Amino acid sequence: MITLSTKWIHELASQPETGMGYQVVSVVLKDGRQFDQIAVVEGLITQIRGHKDIPFTQDEIAKIILTHDKWDFNVEREENPPAH
């Protein structure tokens, strides 16, 4: 998980939720890479569809785009639990 900075938390707080208590976003990194279908829950990036881990840090984020591009991330989490 990645804890987002106050800047991103305030930006996302001003936008509607995708579902109860979460938002689905895309993240564009400073190097131009983009990751889609990212679950953000209470200021935390908790999961990226198709990735076991989060392949970037909070400092690499250039832009967060609210997309509401839903998927059943709870099922995916059960099928692919994070490595400890």
Q: What is the C-alpha to C-alpha distance for residues 23 and 38, in angstroms, rounded to an integer?
A: 8
Handedness of CA 76, 79, 51, 56 (dihedral sign): positive
Please write the tens of the pLDDT for every residue from 24-78: 999 999 999 999 999 999 999 999 999 999 999 999 999 999 999 977 766 665 5
Q: What is the C-alpha to C-alpha distance for residues 16 and 83, in angstroms, rounded to an integer?
A: 31
Q: Which residues of 53-84 are buried (b: 16+ CB within 10 A; e: fewer)?
A: ebebeeeebeebebeeeeeebeebeeeeeeee
Could you state, in order of their start, the residue ranges of all structural domains in the chain?
Answer: 2-74
Please write the tens of the pLDDT for every residue from 58-69: 999 999 999 999
